Amino acid sequence: MNSEQLLNNKIEELKEACKKNGMRVTPQRIEIFKEVAKSCKHPDAETVYEAVKHKMPNVSVDTVYRTLASLEELNMIFRVDNLLPKARFDADLRPHNHFICVQCNEVYDIFLEPDEKKQIPKNAHSFGEIKDINIQIRGICNKCLKNNTK
């Protein structure tokens, strides 16, 4: 299955999810979701807005914000933890972690090897009901390391 087919599947999933939740399938919703889903850059709202504008020049920023929030509620995308004031989004629902470059703020996906599995700290359970565990690695990415030595 190629990436275009995967994307189409995801869009079908989104349509289903909308219907199931009494939400309408609008072109804006599709386009905004597509932008997040096809990017591996974990884009922020502004970036999504700029990209969507190419296809829908009349789209507005607030629609992008509202739509990203809706998509999040539908569990079709989620926010990536980052220490910056800008929220960033990810449509890859497979469990994975992130490497975040502290210099250029690029976010890279880290998938665990088959023999690794997420370990939940023992004490974590004592604080409440766990919904999600998230491992983040912060560091300097290869691209920046290379630029730094120039």
Partner DNA sequence: TTGGTTGCAAATATTTTGCAACCGG
Partner DNA sequence: CCGGTTGCAAAATATTTGCAACCAA
Contacting positions for a second copy (CB under 8 A):
79, 81-83, 85, 87, 97, 99, 101-102, 108, 110-113, 116, 119-124, 127-145
Nearer to DNA, 42 or 67 (CB): 67
Rg (CA), the chain: 17
φ, ψ dihedrals at 128, nearest 5°: 155, -155
Distance, CA of 51 to CA of 106 (rounded, Å): 18
DSSP structural state of residue 101: E
Residue 69 contact, options DNA, a second copy, none, Cβ 5-8 Å cut-off depending on partner type = DNA
Query: Closest by alpha carbon to 80, among 102, 62, 93, 98?
Result: 98
- Side chain identity at residue 104, one-letter code: C
Partner whose footprint covers residue 55, from a second copy, DNA, none (CB < 5 to 8 Å by kind): none
Q: Among residues 56 and 145, whose Cβ is nearest to a second copy?
A: 145
Stretch that binds DNA, among 4-12, 40-48, 90-98, 103-111 (CB under 7 A): 40-48
Identity of the residue, 46 or 106, whose beta carbon is nearer to DNA in the bound complex:
46
Residue 91: closest CA among 139, 54, 40: 40
Question: How many whole angstroms separate alpha carbon 70 and alpha carbon 136?
Answer: 25
Residues 74-133 that bind DNA (CB under 7 A): 85-87
Q: What are the residues binding DNA (CB under 7 A)?
A: 18-19, 22-29, 44-46, 56, 58-63, 65-67, 69-70, 85-87
